[in-house]
Chain A
């Protein structure tokens, strides 16, 4: 039985395909092309410059500090955001009175804009903000800590912001996975006298292992793509001497204005892509090997 004419699927697909080709497929090819040119933000003819943008990258100290920031960012976010949201998901999985309220509340930081959240934390972490004030009043700190102006404290502040904002998001991802954990297995383990900790490691973790790898990949790639957190916490400056800038912040800086350099920004984009491939490939490999 003929269910549709041959062109019907294509008619339905046209808008989505046009969008995909115009705003994703073509730009990704064009990024590579632009990275060999000296294109300017305001248009005009772009000249071919060969590998110059890439050789400039290697000698740019800002690129190296951005890469260092990225590695530190990823190294801290990865364990925290792979484990903490799982624990929170287990906490809200049980159907207690008012659990829907807690789930929604824990998700609040996710729906807020990174700009809103960044400004919120700028106020909390201010030299005279509530965190410094309370910590000095309780004599936890002798002097207020310069959370927003110190080279490394800025990075750690941005990391805590990322972890705080990501908690609810990955909690939901884990919550969907926990639904598939075999209840009988849990009960059998409990009957055999396995404690909470034991059940967590021998029943829950193996059951959500695939999801943990997925979350680990999402967290690492997100950490390498960080922009708004650092941008807002440092007022767009990237900390002292711009040393706290992330790769995406550098891309943004070269993208605009009369002095912008889209060719160099494109070379940075290609670098960003290569860097995000690393954790994806490494984690996928570990996952494959441990499955065997």
Chain B
């Protein structure tokens, strides 16, 4: 295994283009660190602010990244001011429904379009493709009317419902299933496997990478969404975390430390989940999971 992996790398090293000289390497690392400071710096500054005590001047013209009196009291204050645990729970419910809906229903639909022959297949595929041109915000008003008329206004189910099957995910899984060689189905058919067995035992394990991308994106999208829950939810107790956070910043504008703590409460879970799963994500991307 190691030998196989090693071979192409050594071969590439001999070619002039791939051989990064020390000078080029230094330049590259300097640029990488520069971009790193820009992209991650603001998060660190927010984290630092959230940990600074009340006695520490956060408006100083001589900014310090490391807090002098590190404290978690700002986080405690957030929990006292807004029902942050309930908001986290609400966001988790919405995210769980969104992930489950997309993983299950987009898989079924993507598999049917990619691996089964039937009349109307192209029309169905075209229908899913056509909706991609439509920005979600264009239909958000009448989506709200639909959800309201179904009786789900001001409910978490109403927040989750429209996002539970995204056309893009159906197409991503369609693409992944289509890439599998045709023979694997033939062999299973000869063995007498039905469609369900072929899907769950043969095809599904082969598209795990794309499935991971779909699940990660569905979770991130549901957890981060703001406009839709802002429209649907009117009772403060049913707010998702993002809406609750905006509510917090509107109510306690004066204390930047507390707002910083609130943003970290919303950000840290997703950062942890992503850093744990990033391997699958980038692998899935390389498999062609993300094409814009």
Residues of A participating in the B interface, judged by any CB pair closer than 8 Å: 1, 3-4, 6, 8-10, 12-13, 15-17, 19-20, 22-28, 30-31, 34, 39, 41, 43, 88, 91-92, 94, 96, 100, 102-109, 111-116, 119-124, 126, 128, 130, 133-134, 136-137, 164, 167-168, 172-173, 175-176, 179, 183, 186-187, 190-191, 211, 214-215, 218, 221, 224-225, 227-228, 231-232, 235-236, 248, 251-252, 255-256, 262, 265-266, 269-270, 272-273, 276, 280
User: Does B80 reach chain A (CB closer than 8 Å)?
Assistant: no
Number of residues of chain B lying within 8 A (CB) of chain A:
101
The chain B residue sitting closest to A30, CB to CB, is: B142
Per a CB cutoff under 8 Å, which of B42, B194, B234, B278 touches A124? B42
User: Of B69-77, B108-116, B202-210, which stretch is located at the interface?
Assistant: B108-116
Instruction: Closest A residue to B48 by CB, please name it.
Output: A130
Query: How far apart are A215's CB and chain B's nearest CB, in angstroms?
Result: 7
The answer, among B140, B142, B225, B259, for a CB contact under 8 Å with A119, is B259
Selected contact of A262 from candidates B31, B141, B195, B274, CB within 8 Å: B141
Instruction: Please determine whether A106 and B36 come into contact, CB atoms closer than 8 angstroms.
Output: yes
Residue ID in chain A nearest B217 by CB atoms: A111
Count A/B pairs, Cβ under 8 Å.
281
28 contacts between A and B (CB under 8 A): A9-B112, A10-B112, A12-B109, A12-B112, A15-B109, A16-B106, A20-B131, A31-B138, A39-B145, A100-B282, A102-B35, A106-B35, A106-B39, A111-B224, A115-B245, A115-B263, A119-B249, A120-B263, A133-B61, A164-B38, A176-B285, A183-B17, A228-B227, A251-B141, A255-B144, A262-B145, A266-B141, A269-B140
Bound complex: CA A125 to CA B138 (Å): 31
Top 4 closest pairs, chain A to chain B, by CB: A16-B109, A113-B224, A19-B165, A12-B112
**B167 beta carbon closer than 8 Å to chain A:** yes
- A262 vs B146: C-alpha distance in the bound complex, in angstroms? 12
Q: Do A248 and B224 contact each other (CB < 8 Å), given the known contacts A13-B112, A215-B292, A236-B246?
A: no
Contacts of B38 in A (CB 8 A): 164
In the bound assembly, the distance between CA atoms of A134 and B290 in angstroms comes to 39
* A214 CA / B43 CA spacing, docked (Å): 30
- Are A115's CB and B226's CB within 8 A? yes
Question: Is there contact, CB below 8 Å, between B63 and A20?
Answer: no
Are A227 and B118 in contact (CB-based, < 8 A)?
no
Interface residue from B28, B39, B246, B278 paired with A164 (Cβ < 8 Å): B39
B179 at interface by CB-CB < 8 Å: no
User: Is A27 within 8 A of B143, CB to CB?
Assistant: yes
A158 CA to B111 CA in the complex, in Å?
Answer: 41
- Complexed CA–CA distance, A184 and B18 (Å): 11
Given A27-B142, A252-B230, do A269 and B137 touch, yes or no (CB 8 Å)? yes
Known contacts A96-B20, A105-B39, A112-B267, A91 near B31 by CB under 8 Å:
yes
Contacts of B167 in A (CB 8 A): 20, 24
A175–B121 contact, CB under 8 A? no
- The SS class assigned to the B binding surface is helix
Closest Cβ–Cβ distance, residue B130 to chain A (whole Å): 9
Question: B166 → chain A, closest Cβ, in Å?
Answer: 9
**In the complex the two chains form, what is the Cα distance from A15 to B59 in whole Å?**
54
Closest approach, in angstroms, between the C-beta of A282 and any C-beta of chain B?
15
Q: Which residues of A contact B161 (CB under 8 A)?
A: 23
Find out whether the CB atom of B227 lies under 8 angstroms from the CB atom of A248: yes
B142 touches A128 (CB 8 A): no
Which of the residues A34, A104, A176 comes within 8 Å of B291, measured between beta carbons?
Answer: A176
Closest to A8 in B: B195
Q: Closest CB-CB distance, B268 to chain A, in whole Å?
A: 10
How far apart are the CA atoms of A83 and B112 in the complex, in Å?
Answer: 38
B residues in contact with A39, CB < 8 Å? 145
Q: Whole-angstrom distance between the alpha carbons of A120 and B146 in the complex?
A: 34
Q: Is the CB of B116 within 8 A of A9?
A: yes
C-alpha spacing A256/B224, complex, angstroms: 21
Decide if B108 touches A15 in the complex (CB within 8 Å).
Answer: yes
Is B280 among interface residues, defined by CB-CB distance under 8 A?
A: no
Q: Which residue of A lies closest to B41 (CB)?
A: A124
The answer to whether A31 touches B275, judged by C-beta atoms less than 8 angstroms apart, is: no
Q: Considering the chains assembled together, what is the distance between the CA atoms of A41 and B234 in angstroms?
A: 12
Give the chain A neighbours of B42 by CB distance below 8 A.
120-121, 124, 164
Of the listed residues A176, A232, A266, the one surrounded by the most CB atoms of chain B closer than 10 A to its CB is A176
Residues of A within 8 A of B224 (CB): 111-116
Q: A16-B106, A91-B32, A120-B42 are in contact. Are A27 and B118 (CB under 8 A)?
A: no
